Amino acid sequence: MSVIIAGRFEQQSQVEDSIEELVRAGFDRAQIVYFYVNPPGQHDLYPIGGDHATSAGAHASDKGVATGAAAGAAVGIAATPFLGPVGTVAGGLLGAHVGGLVGGLSEMKDKGETGDDAEDADNAVPLRHAGMLLAVAVGDREYEDRAVHVLRSLGAADIERSEGTIADGDWTDFDPTSTPQLVRNAPEQKRPGGQNQRA
């Protein structure tokens, strides 16, 4: 396994230019790969029902519906003396509707969605957005920082650090549903010394 630095680009031409720049910066072309990442819910690994992150919301909504229906039924039973048998049915339906809404909202919060409040930013979970992902395996920390600087200077978005294997032109253990470990900053760059990264 190697440390892998990856960044997202919008256009194929940006990727091609970035590959040449990485090679000029001393990276081995055989350790550079790129591919298109589908939007969440459309990953090829989970063709039916989308990926895990998207499908999980349905389970929370189902739980919310069940809880809301039970609460609504209890309210309906309590209202039976005033509304008759219709109160029980109406209470259950209303409870299921409200419960589904509450269940969906709580799942959004659990998954890291943020609201309008500033304190909600602490709950945010980084998402891997769709686009062309360019990845390079790096040998040591000095080259890791260099890869970050090169990708950032070429306009890459969502630069991330991961561990994995790049072989035969493929990031063999890439998981599109994993949470990306975004790189916020890299130290001031200097030209790497010692052994060259190229094979």
Which residues are CB-contacts of 166 (< 8 A; sequence separation ≥ 6)? 2, 4, 31, 32, 33, 135, 136, 137, 172
- Rounded mean pLDDT of 53-73? 52
pLDDT band at 194 (very low <50, low <70, confident <90, very high): very low
Based on its alpha-carbon atoms, the radius of gyration of the chain, rounded to whole angstroms, reads 24
The whole-number pLDDT of residue 196 equals: 43
pLDDT band at 40 (very low <50, low <70, confident <90, very high): confident
**Looking at the predicted structure, is the pLDDT value of residue 56 above 80?**
no
pLDDT tens digits for range 77-98: 665 666 566 555 555 566 555 5
The whole-number pLDDT of residue 58 equals: 46
Question: Percent of the chain, pLDDT > 70?
Answer: 49
pLDDT tens digits for range 15-25: 999 999 999 99
Q: Which domains does the chain have, with CATH numbers?
A: 2-40+127-182 (3.30.70.120), 52-123 (no CATH)
Does this model's pTM top 0.85? My answer is no
Amino acid occupying residue 110 = D
pLDDT tens digits for range 3-12: 999 999 999 9
Mean pLDDT of the chain: 73
pLDDT band at 46 (very low <50, low <70, confident <90, very high): very low
Q: Which two tokens stand for residue 101?
A: 């809404």
pLDDT band at 30 (very low <50, low <70, confident <90, very high): very high
Per-residue buried b or exposed e for 98-121, using 16+ beta carbons within 10 Å of the residue's own CB = bbbebbbeebeeeeeeeeeeeeee
The whole-number pLDDT of residue 18 equals: 95
